[in-house]
């Protein structure tokens, strides 16, 4: 797999954007500026980035409650996202969805989702539509280790397999379903093992290595586009934060946490970029500064945006209302 300088720098930019956005969201939440729940993607940036780099705006993704990273990697706009986190009228969902329901159907983002596992059959349906319309697009379903225990996983995998649908199931195994570590919620360690039960190829890759994720996703996406059916890619990664902001995550083993923090995907890529001579430390710092400014502008946009008006509660229930 030959990755050009532009690819690597784009990976870097996307991962840094996600990290910066999430750190800012953590800070704003702690300051009491964001209502509701916020589930952060810090530490898992390589998964969304490596996968979405293989997609176009015509392809679809379904996301999860921990969805900010998927949205950014698929091209979501940080100012509209931030305004939505604030519940403002200018947000992606006009303040009606919040962090857990951000969507941009025009960009193929079929929504974050507050129900664990719900995106799986929805992605299968989007993939069915791609096949039915023969439009060459595909769907990617992001979900976590916990969601692979849901019945939706079983039904979605099975239907995708028998209908040979263009869908890539991307399991972000961050080792925890809320407070339950993986060994307490399933009796296997590689979720890719589950694929065989549906006649689907399943692979496991290092989810903290954006290049490894990119390579595996490229093959899954190629397979889907060629009409060869679904695949399951398990990306082993780690949720740095609690399940939601405010969760102190006392259930995590501090040693394990320490080990995983050392596998931070962003410095890993940065080091590689520098080694290859694609950019110097100053160049990367410039990218990070530009991202920081972009996120700061998003916050300013959100804060200066109007709240929705009370009458808006009644709109958007039905189409053609």
Partner 1 sequence: MTTVGIVANPASGKDIRRLVAYGTVFDNLEKVNIVRRIILGLAAAGVDKVIYMPDYYGIVPRALEGLSSRDRPLFDTVPADIPLTCTQQDSAAAGAAMRASGAGCIVTLGGDGTNRMVAKGCGDIPLLPVSTGTNNVFPAMLEGTTAGLAAGVVARGLAGGEPVVRRTKKLLVVKDGAPADIALVDAVVLDGAFIGSRAIWDIEPIRQIVLTRCEPHAIGISAIGGQLAPIGPHDDRGLAIELGDAAAAVLAPIAPGVVVPVSYRGYRALAIGEHVPVASTPCVIALDGEREIEVRAGETASIRLTFDGPLVVDARAALTAAAAAGVFRLPAGSPAQT
Partner 2 sequence: MKKMTYAEAIRDGIRQEMKRDSAVYLCGEDVGKFGGCFGVTAGLVDEFPGRVLDTPITETAIIGSAVGAAAVGLRPVAEIMFVDFTGVCMDELFNQAVKMRYMFGGKAKVPLVLKTICGGGVAAAAQHSQCMEAWFTHIPGLKTVMPATPADAKGLMAAAIRDDNPVIYIEHKQLLGLGGDVPEGEYLVPLGKADIKRPGTDVTIVAWSWMVHRALAAAEALAKDGISAEVIDPRTLVPLDKDAILASLAKTHKLVIVHEAVRTSGFGGEIAAVAAEEGFDLLDAPIKRVTAPDTPVPFSPVLEKAFLPDEGKIIQAVKELF
Angle between helices 119-133 and 151-162 (to 10 degrees): 20
Q: Which stretch binds partner 1 (CB under 8 A): 75-83, 125-133, 269-277, 287-295?
A: 269-277
Shortest distance, position 131 Cβ to partner 2, whole Å = 10
Could you say whether residue 82 binds partner 2 (CB under 8 A)? Answer: no
111 backbone dihedrals φ, ψ, rounded to 5°: 105, 140
Query: What is the helix (H) or strand (E) element at residue 17, kind and residue range?
Result: helix 5-30
Helix (H/G/I), strand (E/B), else coil: 89: coil
The Cα 98–Cα 84 span in angstroms is: 5
- Residue 77 binds partner 2, judged by CB under 8 A: no
30 binds, among partner 2, partner 1, none (CB under 5 to 8 A by kind): none
- Considering only 1-9, 90-98, 194-202, 284-292, which stretch makes contact with partner 2 by CB under 8 A? 90-98
- The helix (run of H) or strand (run of E) holding residue 221 is helix 210-225
CB 165 within 8 A of CB 230: yes
Of 233, 291, 298, 302, which lies in the binding site for partner 1, with binding defined by CB under 8 A? Answer: 233
Given candidates 51, 85, 139, 269, which one binds partner 2 under the rule CB under 8 A?
139
Given partner 2, partner 1, none, residue 196, with its beta carbon under 5 to 8 Å by kind, binds partner 1
How far apart CA 282 and CA 285 sit, in angstroms, is: 5
Which residues have CB under 8 Å from 23's CB, separation 6+? 42
Q: Does 132 bind partner 2 (CB under 8 A)?
A: yes
d(CA 76, CA 70): 8
Q: Does the protein bind partner 2 through residue 104 (CB under 8 A)?
A: yes
The listed partner (partner 1, partner 2, none) that binds 2, CB under 5 to 8 Å by sort, is partner 1
In this complex, which beta carbon is closest to partner 2, that of residue 90 or of residue 208? Answer: 90
305 binds partner 1 (CB under 8 A): no
Would you count residue 276 as binding partner 1 (CB under 8 A)?
yes
Cβ atoms < 10 Å from Cβ of 40: 25
> Does residue 173 contact residue 145 with C-beta atoms inside 8 Å?
yes
Which residues contact partner 2 (rule: CB under 8 A)? 60, 62, 91-97, 101, 103-106, 110-111, 113-115, 118, 120-130, 132-133, 139, 151-152, 155-156, 158-159, 162-163, 315-320
């Amino acid at each position: 797999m030959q990755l050009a300088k532009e690819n690597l720098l784009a990976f870097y930019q996307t991962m840094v954007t996600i990290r910066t956005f999430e750190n800012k969201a953590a800070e704003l939440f702690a300051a009491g500026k964001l209502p509701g729940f916020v589930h952060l993607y810090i530490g898992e940036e390589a998964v969304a980035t490596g996968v979405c780099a293989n997609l176009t705006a015509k392809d679809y993704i379904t996301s999860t409650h921990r969805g900010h990273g998927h949205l950014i990697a698929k091209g979501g706009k940080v100012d509209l996202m931030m305004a939505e986190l604030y519940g403002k009228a200018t947000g992606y969902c006009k303040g009606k969805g919040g962090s857990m329901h951000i969507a941009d159907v025009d960009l193929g983002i079929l929504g974050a989702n507050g129900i664990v596992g719900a995106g799986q059959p929805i992605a299968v349906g989007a993939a069915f539509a791609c096949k039915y319309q023969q439009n060459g697009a595909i769907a990617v379903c992001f979900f976590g280790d916990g969601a692979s225990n849901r019945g939706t996983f079983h039904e979605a995998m099975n239907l995708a397999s028998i209908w040979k649908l263009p869908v890539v199931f991307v399991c972000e195994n961050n080792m925890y379903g809320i407070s339950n570590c993986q060994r307490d919620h399933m009796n296997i360690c590689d979720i890719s093992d589950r694929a065989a039960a549906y006649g689907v190829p399943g692979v496991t890759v290092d989810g903290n290595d954006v290049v490894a994720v990119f390579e595996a996703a490229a093959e899954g996406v190629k397979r889907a586009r060629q009409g060869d059916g679904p695949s399951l890619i398990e990306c082993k990664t780690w949720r740095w934060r609690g399940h939601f902001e405010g969760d102190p995550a006392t259930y995590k083993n501090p040693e394990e946490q320490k080990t995983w923090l050392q596998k931070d995907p962003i410095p890993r890529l940065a080091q590689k970029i520098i080694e290859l001579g694609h950019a110097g430390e100053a160049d990367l710092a410039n990218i990070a500064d530009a991202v920081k400014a972009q996120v700061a502008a998003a916050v300013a946009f959100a804060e200066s945006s109007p709240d929705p008006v009370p009458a808006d509660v009644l709109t958007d229930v039905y189409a053609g209302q």
